Every structure is written in structure tokens, then in C-alpha cells.
Structure 1
Amino acid sequence: MACTWKDRLSSYLEPIEPLSSAAKAFFSKLWLSIRADGLGAFTRLADVRAAAVASWFRGPSEQFIEFEVRAGVPDLVASARGIVLELGPGTGHQLRRYDAAAVTFVYGVEPNRHFAPDVAHAVAQAGLQDKYELIPCGVEDSEALARRGITEGTLDTVLSIQVLCSVPQPEAVVRELYRLLKPGGQLIFWEHRRSSDATTAVVQGLWNWLWALGIGGCTLNRDLKKMLREAGEWENLDSLQSDDAPQSLLPRTWGRLVKKS
């Protein structure tokens, strides 16, 4: 079915609602912080923003879980095996999707401390208390990872579900993930990326500064395929799948990339 200008206009205006709710979450957290700390709240805006992001993500969580189910994300997560590093578990809603018999241990790397209670609850709900550790840092903190034995060539699986859009220095992060994987290890991901439609790509760029500010650093137009291709050699780079509705500001690409042995 052809994409009409009405389809495009409707899609191009979709960021308004999530940005509005994200702004409400931020100002709500800021007001609570001002009431508690007075003007000192303005010296810790980064933490206020992190708290607001966590609060905002809890809001649409159930609807987004349903969307992921329709998109096949549970099957991707269930293919994780061995020693797993999950990037940015957030509220922890992927934990229910692991095959507990197939994973040896899961490390969740989450720099936003405000998600910790959500993850703890999700771990208990999934029955993974003996197989899960939340590491309060970013994946670029190699010292924190090394203290857990996560060094070059030690991971069987890296899982990234809509996280590479928001990590700082994404090219370096993807190279680091490649380095940590064992030969034959797998990168499982479902991520949004820059549109291949020229008009939509321009609109992504116009929205991007405000979107990144409001949605926890999320970037609409990263060149995901280029980052993956340049990270290192994969056995099956041509196996990636994509949905590419020309008007979508959040087109997804997903797959299981295997590090070349």
C-alpha cells in the first residue's frame, strides 16, 4: 500500500505526545527535588533527569511490551545463551523472556540508578535471583566489568533491545561489545535507526535534538548498520531484518549477529 502525505504527516507528528509526557515527568521530578533541596536541586539536574526518564519509561511500559511481542522480540531474547550481558535493562521487562535453562548468568549493565528497584522486582518475578547481577555503570566502564570477569572474549551473548540509540559514543560501544564477545558469540539486538527514506530522514534530523533531550539521550537517526559493519567481522551480517515503512521515524532493524571464529 502506497504511503500518502496524510500517512507521513500523522507519523511525523507522533513525537509530540511522548515528548509532552516526558516533559511532564521531568518537571514533576524537578519540583519534588526543589521541595526537598531548595535551589540545590539545580546542582543535580542530571540525576533529576535520570529519575524523570525512569518514571517516564514506566508509564508506557505495558503498551510497549505488547508492541515488542507483535514484533517478535520475545523470540530474540529467548535465543540468548551462556554468559549474557544485557545493555540497559531499564525496567527489566526482558527478563521474563530469557530461557533460564539456556543462560548461565546474566549481567545487566544499567547506568541509571533509578531503574534498580524495577530490575530487582523483575529478577524475582523471572526466578533469576541466582543468575543475575545488575551492574550500575555503562558498558564503557571496563574496570567495573573486569571486576566481574567480563573481559575480552568472555561473553556468549550480548543483548541490546533499543539501547544503542541512547548510548554515548555508539561506535566505540559497539566495538567494545564485539571485543567482549567470544569468537562464535552472538549479538542479539532490536534497534531503531536512521530511515532510508530521504524525506523521513530529514524529519528525523529536525526532531532529533528535542527528542534526545527529552527521551534520555535517545537519538533517532544513528546509522546502525554502519556501526555494526565497522565493529568487526561477523559471520552473517547479511542476515539482518528490517521494517522500513517509509514514513516511520522509528524504523527497526534486528537480528542475531555471530562473531567470526
Structure 2
Amino acid sequence: MPWHWKDRYRSYTEPWGPVRYGIWAVYEGAKQAISEGRYRALLSISALLDAGFYIWFKVLNDNFIRFETNKTTIPKLVLQCTGVVLELGPGTGNQLCRFNKDLITRIIGVESNPHFVPDIEEQIKLNKLDDVYDLVIANCDDTAALERHGVVPSSLDTVLSIQVICSVSDPEATMKRLYALLKPGGKFIFWEHHRNSDWMTRFVQYFWNPMWRPLVGGCNLTRDMKKIVLSAGEWDNPEAVEGDEQPWSMLPRQWGVLIKPSVGLS
């Protein structure tokens, strides 16, 4: 089997670009806090990282939109959302234009980084979702915050996760909670990156992860996403998980529309 050394080298060094931008973004966030007199923000590492991630994301967002639109299945996945939808981590609201409003009853967007709020609210208005989209500023594991918005076990038709499970603190526990929130017959729609099966690439992912994770919104390069998602509970169609893995890819993706059994299991 060819080793594709040039491709590997190019891929293995790619994370330096986002990491470098991340360092710059945290610095810019700190400068903004000083210029606005928000000195207490400088004492909180999490606040600095949140501000930095927002700046990082905004700078790169046009690239993300083009990539998602032209080279991924994300638009087709989002179109399959129906009924009452929980959108995890809407960020700048890139997915709001992709929902089929004729199929949606209500969308609850749960976003943990408050810096994204103005962007999400702008997208809600632009896409005329004011009457169906509720924005919750909380962690997706904040059960109390979700309950206040009517998100309780067996209340959701769809959960949408576009590169969010990579950043939660306990992905197995989070997935089990999300599974419980789905109605029987409900859908978990996801597009996530994961740990590469190639041993050399996996080693490089683990090398980059300590630098990558704090600067890129808590994102982990090293999670076994398929195992995490499928172990949340019983699914009617576990074979529906697809992927595009290359042996040297630092961000191989997996995606699918998993359906919770209609009867007999919860």
C-alpha cells in the first residue's frame, strides 16, 4: 500500500494554520477586553478562550460556508430535520438557511458561547425564523436550561449536531442524554470529525490535540465518534453511518441520520 508521504506531510502540518489563528484570536480578544475596560475578563481563561474562538470562527467563517456548501453532505442532512428540532451549537447560524421551514414546527438552538448571540439573532431574522426559533444560551448538557424551554425526555423529533460532539466534556454521557430527549422514531442527524484509524495519523492527532482543543472551541481531534454515537442507545439503522476517511486526514468525517426505534425501546 502506498504511504503518500507528501499528502501525509501536508495534512499533518495543516493544524498549525488554525492553531496560529487561534493564538492570534485570543490575543485580539484580550486587546478588545482592555480597550473596552473589561479587565475582569482577563482573569478568566475560559472567557478569553470563548472570545478568541468567536474571533477565530468569524475570520474563517466564509471558508467554512463554502466548504460545507460545496464539498459536504451538510445541506442535505439539515434538510431532513423535521418537527421539533434541537440544534446543538449553532455558532454564527450557518445552518439556519438550510432548514426546510415547511417541515419544522419549532427549533431550539442551544449555544454555550454568548459571543455568537448577535450573529444567530441576525440569521433568525434574515431567514424569517422568528416565530419558530428559540435561542438558549447554555451548554447542551444543561438539563435545567433545556427543561425551561420544554426540552424533556421524548420531546424532540430531531437532534442536529454539526461538529459539536467533538467539543463536549463527556461525549458518551451527552449522547445518552440526547438519545433520551428524542421521541420514539426521532432522528439524530450528525456530521462530525473523528479519530483516524491509521496508526500514524492517529499519533499525529494526539500530538496536535493539546494545542488544538483550547484554541478551537474545545474541539477534540481524537474521539471515536462512531462508537460514541452508536453506543447512546438502540438505533433502527446503525449501518446508516457514513464517512470519507483517508489514511492521512487529520479531520476525517462521519455523518448520518440515525433513527430511534418507534416502539419497545427508549
Q: Which residue of 2 aligns with 1:159?
A: 160
CA-CA distance at 1:214 after TM superposition: 1.2
| Ranges in structure 1 where 5+ consecutive residues have no aligned partner | none
Q: Structure 2: which amino acid aligns with 1:183?
A: P
Task: Check if 1:8 corresponds to 2:18.
Answer: no
Paired residues, number: 261
Q: Structure 2: which amino acid aligns with 1:11?
A: S
Tell me the secondary structure at the aligned position of residue 195 of structure 2: coil
Asked if the contact 1:34/1:40 (under 8 Å) is kept, the reply is no
TM-score computed with the length of structure 1 as normaliser = 0.96
Which range is displaced more, 229-238 or 29-38? 29-38
Give me the whole-angstrom Cα distance separating, in 1, the residues matched to 2:95 and 2:118: 15
CA-CA distance at 1:2 after TM superposition: 4.8
Asked if the contact 1:82/1:103 (under 8 Å) is kept, the reply is yes
Asked if the contact 2:41/2:47 (under 8 Å) is kept, the reply is no
| Ranges in structure 2 where 5+ consecutive residues have no aligned partner | none
Asked if the contact 2:52/2:215 (under 8 Å) is kept, the reply is no
Asked if the contact 2:163/2:191 (under 8 Å) is kept, the reply is yes
Report the identity percentage: 44
Q: Which residue of 1 aligns with 2:68?
A: 68
Deviations 1:81-119 (A, max 9, x none): 000000000000100000001000000000100000000
TM-score computed with the length of structure 2 as normaliser = 0.95
Give me the whole-angstrom Cα distance separating, in 1, the residues matched to 2:252 and 2:205: 11
Deviations 1:2-38 (A, max 9, x none): 5511110000000111111111110011122234447
Q: Which residue of 2 aligns with 1:214?
A: 215
Q: 1:152 to 1:21 in 2, by over 3 A?
A: same
Give me the whole-angstrom Cα distance separating, in 1, the residues matched to 2:40 and 2:175: 37
Q: Which residue of 1 aligns with 2:241?
A: 240
* Superposed counterparts of 1:72-151, under 5 Å: 72-151=73-152
Q: Which residue of 2 aligns with 1:180?
A: 181
Q: Which runs of 4+ in 1 moved over 3 A?
A: 35-41
Q: 1:38 to 1:256 in 2, by over 3 A?
A: closer
CA RMSD across the alignment: 1.4
Give me the whole-angstrom Cα distance separating, in 2, the residues matched to 1:109 and 1:6: 41
Give me the whole-angstrom Cα distance separating, in 2, the residues matched to 1:255 and 1:156: 16
Q: Which residue of 2 aligns with 1:26?
A: 26
